[in-house]
Amino acid sequence: MLLTIPQVLTKGEVAQIRALLDAADWEDGGKTAGAQSGAVKHNRQLPPTSEAAQTAGQFIVQALTKQPRFMSAALPARILPPMFNKYEQAENFGKHVDNAIRVNPLTQERLRTDLSMTLFLSEPDSYDGGELMVEDYYGQKAVKLAAGDLVLYPATSIHQVTPVTSGSRVSAFFWLQSMVRSDIQRRTLFDLDTTIQALTARLGITDPQVVDLTGIYHNLIRQWTDV
pLDDT tens digits, residue range 101-147? 999 999 999 999 999 999 999 999 999 999 999 998 888 999 999 99
* Cα–Cα distance for residue pair 70/165, rounded to 1 Å: 32
The pTM of the full predicted model, rounded to 2 decimals, is: 0.93
> Residue type for 48, please?
P
Which pLDDT score, from 0 to 100, does residue 33 have? 60
Grouping H, G, I as helix, E, B as strand and the rest as coil, residue 91 is coil
**CA-CA-CA-CA torsion for 191, 196, 202, 203, nearest 10 degrees?**
150
pLDDT tens digits, residue range 46-90? 999 999 999 999 999 999 999 999 999 999 999 999 999 999 999
Residues 115 and 211 in one domain: no
Residues 133 and 200 in one domain: no
Residues 101 and 137 in one domain: yes
Q: Which residues pair with 119 in a beta bridge?
A: 150, 172
Give residue 208's domain range: 183-224
Burial 35-55 (b: 16+ CB within 10 A, else e): eebeeebbbbbbbbebebbbe
Mean model confidence pLDDT for the chain: 95
* Cα–Cα distance for residue pair 183/61, rounded to 1 Å: 22
Domain count, the chain: 2
Nearest residue to 151 via CA among 169, 167, 175: 175
> Residue type for 64, please?
L
Q: Residue 116's domain is classified under what CATH number? A: 2.60.120.620
Q: Residue 197's domain is classified under what CATH number? A: 4.10.860
